[in-house]
Structure 1
Amino acid sequence: MASSAASATGPSEEFRYAGNRLGLPEDGPGSVATWGRRVLALLIDWLIAGLIASVLTGRPMWAGGGNFGLMHSTVFFAMSAILAGLAGATIGHRLCGLRVAAVGRGTAYTGQPGLLAGVIRALLISLLIPAVVFDRDRRGLHDLAAKTVVVRR
């Protein structure tokens, strides 16, 4: 009886920390990435895509207008899909000490997600809403659809 009362007040065995259900460590390498690092990585990638789009359009990033917005979005999508899918991390992820891991049968593993998973993630991140709807393992709808999780290196 005492054990059921104790378990009712504490976290369930299924959810003790983000990533527990996926078999990930609570902290350190391989643990689920924090929101701060993920947002910083996204901003770095967005800035890099903007700089590339500036070179391709011949317009400074801050000027916008013309085809800049479309070019910026296209570069961001391509960069995110290819790098996250095939290399396991975008430039922003690498600079922030993160990587994208594929999830298989409920547990994360170290393999690369693959190009299809990268395309799914990038497409949904580009739509923004799926990235801000997430579960208790800090996996947005884009990660759930692509069967990925962002973890610390």
Structure 2
Amino acid sequence: MDKRQAIGSWLSGPREAAENAGADFGYRGQQLGLPETGPGSIARPGRRLGALLVDWGLCVLIAYGLLTDGYNQATGNWALLFFFVMSVLTVGTVGSTPGKRIFGLRVISADGGHIRPLRALTRGVLLCLGVPALVWDRDGRGLHDQLARTVEVRI
């Protein structure tokens, strides 16, 4: 193996290196019994990020509207609190936040069906910490989804 192949496999990540070695990971969500594409399939990172940005922007606008002395650190803290409350209440009841609804996403239990309020609370706390959302498994689920036993799917 020349150096370019070794560096290319390292930069591409363990999934591609294993696939090049002959391992078959299948598609994202296969282990969870989800379809590869279409409704019920694992939500792609672009849609998830778009939904997060819409939800965060909405919470910043609410915080800014309530605190009329301009955007500052307190506004950001209030926005995070509104984001947490909105996330727990909407995901725990209807399965999606306004941003997720716009992007056609829903959070479901990993074993199928609606998520319970305790799972929504766990997911909301971990999501607000930020770091768990940056640690993904091979199915594309963040650590917050793994620990809450939830999965974000297309609707």
TM-score (norm 2): 0.82
CA-based RMSD of the aligned residues comes to 1.4
Aligned partner of 1:125 among 124, 127, 141:
127
Question: Hey, what does 1:96 align to over in structure 2?
Answer: 103
Q: CA deviation at 1:58?
A: 2.2
Tell me, yes or no, if structure 1 residue 20 matches structure 2 residue 11.
no
Alignment of 1:10-89 (within 5 A): 11=24, 15-59=25-69, 63-65=70-72, 67-89=74-96
The SS at the match of 1:54 is helix
Q: Does 1:145 align with 2:139?
A: no
Task: State the SS of the aligned residue for 1:23.
Answer: coil
Unaligned 5+ residue runs, structure 1? 1-7
The share of aligned pairs that are identical, in percent, is: 45
One-letter amino acid of the structure 1 residue matched with residue 22 of structure 2: T
Moved segments of 4+, more than 4 Å:
none
Whether the 8 Å contact between 1:89 and 1:98 is mirrored in structure 2 is yes
Other structure's SS at 1:22 match: coil
Alignment match, 2:22: 9
Deviations 1:67-92 (A, max 9, x none): 21221111000001111121100111
Q: Which runs of 5+ in 2 are unaligned?
A: 1-20
* Aligned partner of residue 144 in structure 1, secondary structure: helix
Q: By how many angstroms is 1:10 displaced?
A: 5.2
String of CA shifts for 1:37-84, please: whole Å, max 9, x gaps: 00000000000111111122224xxx4225212211110000011111
Q: Look up the match of 2:4.
A: none
